[in-house]
Structure 1
Amino acid sequence: MSIQEFEELYLTLTELYNENRFFEYIELSDAAIENAHGFGMYDKAILLLRYRCASHYQVGNLQVAISLLKQYRELTFQYGSDTDIISYYNIMAIYWEIFGHLKKAEDLMLKGLEIAERINDVEGIGKINNNLSHLELKMGRYDKAKEFALKSLYYGNYFEVKHSNPFKGVHFSKVNLATSQIWLGEFDGAYAIIQELLQVIQSPPYAKPEIEVFNVHALYCHKTGRIQEAIDTYQKAKNYAFQNSDWEMMQAICDSLMQIIEQQNDVEALCKIQKEYIETLLKIQQENYTHILFEIEYSDEKKQFEKTSYIDPLTNVYNRRYFDANANQMIEAAACNGEQLALIMVDLDHFKEINDTKGHLFGDTVLINTATILKNYFQAFDAIVARFGGDEFIVLMRLTENIVLQDIVNNLYDALTEMPFTCHDELISLAYSLGVSMSNHEQAFNLGELIHNADIALYQSKRNGRNQVTIFN
């Protein structure tokens, strides 16, 4: 498959998923994920894999959905952005909820929501509020469920346009809102939403979104006294859930049916439903994959521990420990491949004076913003960015044929010195000294030599008046 063919398939798959055509998505997505990974398009590989995992969940194939989680987690933590990690927490929360671990599910949702609100990820905020609504319904807290459903719909622009890139998955938010309204006795509002949902249902096969609509419609009929219509609708929903082997949905529907039929004193029908209910519980017991979830959670904790060990807590870039542990590997790889490396030392001029006159909180802000600029600037390169200590940062980057080192460091210097800063309404100009060293084609320097030479260049920048770039010669 060529890159152009992949891009066309990627667009097709995105459309299929957004249109809830999950069966078709599953058929076509496997090869696309493999090719995205092969082309190094990890952002698209993560998205396609997430959609594949979710598609199997939506059609009731829990076994395959959970089997994909490990691969999805590895790809997300290795190459994913904050938005990818938000989605990962959201998906993991759904599976913990399925197996009855509601507190763990809520903790994961809130962890994802914290990141989503920090970076203003409307899609993430919308989805998590929707899932929190569903969680509150399970716990019988219908006022809270309604509150979260309304929040989710707000972020989906259901009421009025507020966001340029709104949350798209409002289907389940509408179902959750209608369900909470029914339990709260707000039948008119629930009826309007249900009619709206019923109008967009296409022909079979039906996945979870359509079955959820039948389910909430049956609940509405039950609570408004239309008993036979409720039973018929529940039976229809149960049949579709059975076709999909969606045992979680089967359990919920059988539970609702048993409550109605018990009230009708129909012993024969009750025995039949009870038998189906027991068979469903046995299926759920057989497909309880909590051991996989615990394994994944352990891996997450390990990753978090590694992040704590290697990330500078103030600036959120790598620390000296990480740099020392990984820079030599980068140098060895460059030596084997005959590649060049550049090492850049970045020092904030007069930092002690900044701390003494403007305060340590302002000094911390300067360091954080400096680290952010460095991290963002070198994101497009094969590079390690670390805080080397105090007000000094270090960068080790691989040089390819199309990279002109002088241009790289000059543009970096401009990015750093053009950063606007104000303290107590006073505009502050910051100065930076940079020292740069480089390996040669014949022999890569060892790490000590690269640092030593960059240090000499940095000292020369300081000696010549500071606030400039010097490349070691």
Structure 2
Amino acid sequence: MRITYKPAVQVDTEYDRLYAAGRYEEAIEVMRTFLEECERNKNPYGAMLAHISIATCYYCMGQSECAFQSILLYKKLCDEYGAQYEQYNLCHLQSLIYEYERNYKKAKECTEECIHLARLLSLPHELCVSYTILSYIHLMTEQYEEALTTAQDALAIAELHTSKDSRIQCHIYSILSISYVLLDQLAEAAYALEVVARNPFSQSSRLERSRFLYIKGLLALKVDDTELAISFLVEAEALALTTQNSTLLKRVYLQQALAYENLKCFELAYSYMKKYTFMLEDLYKGCTRSKLEDLDIQYNMSTLERLANIDSLSGVYTRHYLESACDQWLSEARETKDDICCVVFDIDDFKTINDQYGHLVGDEVIKAVGQTCREVIQEKQTIIGRYGGDEFVILFKNFSKQHLMHKISELFQALTNLCVTGHDYKIQFTISMGMVSTESIIARKFKQLFRIADQALYMAKSQGKNQIVTLSNTNCHINCSSRPFS
């Protein structure tokens, strides 16, 4: 959560309304108009207010470079006309930008200077805001105890001096709730969130409502109620999308990715991790300090991408991945002239296994088949996938005919020798295979290649099962044997 600077002087209620609603681009336009008026009237103090307000909006939008440009214009005027209060404003916004860029050391230094200036100038509201920001910096540096203590200090100041300011109260209790969640003090976190829920500012601001739902999602994840967490995070995402606050949306995406990963919904997890990463790249591309170099994120992305394409039951690739990968191979083969072979097989009389032993045992058979395929077929330029039910597909690229026949025979024997055992069952089975190669047929898409291989499989079934049939086209039967390629 970010505590943003709000102009102390009410120059334009329209700006305040737009800012509170998260409509930052419109708020910037209001302040640009005000800035032009100040420049015409040679009003440096109003101009400083306009620059700092514009910088704040850019900060909320995640545009740090634009924010820095406005800060430089503010600083130029501040050096000439400003007093200590203007120095506080400058230092305050610099701390936010440094925190945004993850330069927490500089952010902490600026915030501590803000605390010093606020004490010097006897500004309880600004002191409270600065303590709140410092507690957030502690959160970001995983100093959760310090974050909690500092937020409690901010709350004490707020209750003594700014008890009627619902905005700052909302911010403090939000940070308290996050701190409690991360410290596993879940009852205290729930209480802090109840306070936020009753806060008028939380109820009126879409941004704060989104932040509240995000924290509710964090709490639900902590108590392992992942489905409830997702419901909160989905609502938080919808609200965050309307507020232009990219930093909050980024955090929501990350938690959604983690939540869906917990549910083993890897496609959705990967989708949200992609959104998070793309947003992270966009947020940091203009930073003066850092670029996206987070190896942990890259690792998580590759892991989730792999899991999103893996069939959770069999451990081999999904039908969707099979189709897309094969289509790419076939497209490349038009130039490279690579030979693509498609092998389709299924378990003979698999329905009988399900009917006799139940679907859970049938699932164990599918798992065993997938594992055996992975153990036998380990070469590069191969893709093993589950097309659906008990039907599997294996793609080979640029294998010599001799090597290809050897691997298929090896797999056929391994599967027919496989015995799946459990507490009260021992199952052996046979398989039927159909295969086709682009060496002998023309196929531009996976569906065309699969259709002919599937016809070969059907022929193997109709001729007694437990055999391999190879087709060169829909009418030509090349090989049919109960002992493959003997």
What code does the residue aligned with 1:10 have?
Answer: V
Q: Within 1, Cα distance between the matches of 2:38 and 2:242? A: 32
Q: Does 1:232 align with 2:234?
A: no
Q: 1:223 to 1:125 in 2, by over 3 A?
A: same
State the 1:124 CA deviation: 2.3
Partner in structure 2 of residue 334 of structure 1: none
The answer to whether the 8 Å contact 2:251/2:276 transfers is no
Partner in structure 2 of residue 116 of structure 1: 118
Q: Within 1, Cα distance between the matches of 2:163 and 2:230? A: 42
Q: 1:210 to 1:290 in 2, by over 3 A?
A: farther
- Number of aligned residue pairs: give it: 279
Q: 1:83 to 1:241 in 2, by over 3 A?
A: same
State the 1:82 CA deviation: 1.0
Q: 1:78 to 1:214 in 2, by over 3 A?
A: farther
> Given the alignment, which residue of 114, 127, 130 partners 2:129?
127
Residues 259-270 of structure 1 correspond to what in structure 2 (within 5 A)? 259-270=258-269
What code does the residue aligned with 2:47 have?
Answer: A
Q: Does 1:16 align with 2:17?
A: yes
What code does the residue aligned with 1:281 have?
Answer: L
Q: 1:165 to 1:173 in 2, by over 3 A?
A: closer
Q: Give deviations 1:374-433, integer Å, cap 9, x for gaps.
A: xxxxxxxxxxxxxxxxxxxxxxxxxxxxxxxxxxxxxxxxxxxxxxxxxxxxxxxxxxxx
State the 1:13 CA deviation: 4.6
Q: Within 2, Cα distance between the matches of 1:274 and 1:146? A: 29
State the 1:119 CA deviation: 2.5
Q: Within 2, Cα distance between the matches of 1:101 and 1:148? A: 19
Q: Does 1:92 align with 2:94?
A: yes
Tell me the SS of whatever aligns to 2:102. coil
Q: Does 1:31 align with 2:23?
A: no
The answer to whether the 8 Å contact 1:127/1:167 transfers is no
The answer to whether the 8 Å contact 1:60/1:241 transfers is no
Q: Within 1, Cα distance between the matches of 2:107 and 2:17? A: 28
RMSD, aligned CA = 3.2
What code does the residue aligned with 2:40 have?
Answer: G
Tell me the SS of whatever aligns to 1:175. helix
Partner in structure 2 of residue 53 of structure 1: 55
Q: Within 2, Cα distance between the matches of 1:256 and 1:185? A: 17
Q: Within 2, Cα distance between the matches of 1:210 and 1:62? A: 24
State the 1:172 CA deviation: 1.9
Q: Within 2, Cα distance between the matches of 1:83 and 1:165? A: 23
Tell me the SS of whatever aligns to 2:11. helix
Q: 1:172 to 1:59 in 2, by over 3 A?
A: farther
The answer to whether the 8 Å contact 1:53/1:68 transfers is yes
The answer to whether the 8 Å contact 2:250/2:280 transfers is yes
Q: Within 1, Cα distance between the matches of 2:97 and 2:264? A: 36
Partner in structure 1 of residue 330 of structure 2: none
Residues 91-240 of structure 1 correspond to what in structure 2 (within 5 A)? 91-157=93-159, 161-162=160-161, 169-199=168-198, 200=200, 201=202, 206-207=206-207, 209-240=208-239
Q: Give deviations 1:42-82, integer Å, cap 9, x for gaps.
A: 33332343233223433555554343222122222222221
Q: Within 2, Cα distance between the matches of 1:162 and 1:278? A: 41
Tell me the SS of whatever aligns to 1:193. helix
Q: 1:76 to 1:20 in 2, by over 3 A?
A: farther
Q: Within 2, Cα distance between the matches of 1:258 and 1:48? A: 39
Q: 1:63 to 1:238 in 2, by over 3 A?
A: farther
What code does the residue aligned with 2:215 have?
Answer: V
Q: Does 1:79 align with 2:53?
A: no
State the 1:144 CA deviation: 0.8
Q: Within 1, Cα distance between the matches of 2:167 and 2:253? A: 31
Partner in structure 1 of residue 402 of structure 2: none
Residues 56-455 of structure 1 correspond to what in structure 2 (within 5 A)? 56-60=58-62, 62=64, 64-157=66-159, 161-162=160-161, 169-199=168-198, 200=200, 201=202, 206-207=206-207, 209-242=208-241, 246-290=245-289
Q: 1:167 to 1:203 in 2, by over 3 A?
A: closer
Q: Within 1, Cα distance between the matches of 2:223 and 2:278? A: 30
The answer to whether the 8 Å contact 1:156/1:168 transfers is no
| TM-score, normalisation: structure 2 | 0.51
Q: Within 2, Cα distance between the matches of 1:111 and 1:79? A: 20
Q: Within 2, Cα distance between the matches of 1:40 and 1:63? A: 27
State the 1:290 CA deviation: 4.0
Q: 1:254 to 1:219 in 2, by over 3 A?
A: same
The answer to whether the 8 Å contact 1:83/1:121 transfers is no
Q: Give deviations 1:223-250, integer Å, cap 9, x for gaps.
A: 2333112112223333444555544333
State the 1:177 CA deviation: 0.9
State the 1:282 CA deviation: 2.4
The answer to whether the 8 Å contact 1:66/1:289 transfers is no
Tell me the SS of whatever aligns to 1:68. helix
Partner in structure 2 of residue 42 of structure 1: 44
What code does the residue aligned with 2:27 have?
Answer: Y
- Unaligned 5+ segments in structure 1 are 1-7, 292-473
Q: 1:45 to 1:153 in 2, by over 3 A?
A: farther
Q: 1:123 to 1:43 in 2, by over 3 A?
A: farther
Q: Within 1, Cα distance between the matches of 2:168 and 2:32? A: 23
Q: Within 2, Cα distance between the matches of 1:167 and 1:198? A: 12
Q: Within 2, Cα distance between the matches of 1:284 and 1:21? A: 17
Select the structure of larger CA radius of gyration. Answer: 2
Tell me the SS of whatever aligns to 1:10. coil
Q: Within 2, Cα distance between the matches of 1:62 and 1:237? A: 24
Q: Within 2, Cα distance between the matches of 1:213 and 1:111? A: 29
The answer to whether the 8 Å contact 2:124/2:161 transfers is no
Q: Within 2, Cα distance between the matches of 1:91 and 1:38? A: 26
Q: Percent same amino acid among aligned pairs?
A: 16
Q: 1:31 to 1:245 in 2, by over 3 A?
A: closer
What code does the residue aligned with 1:226 have?
Answer: D
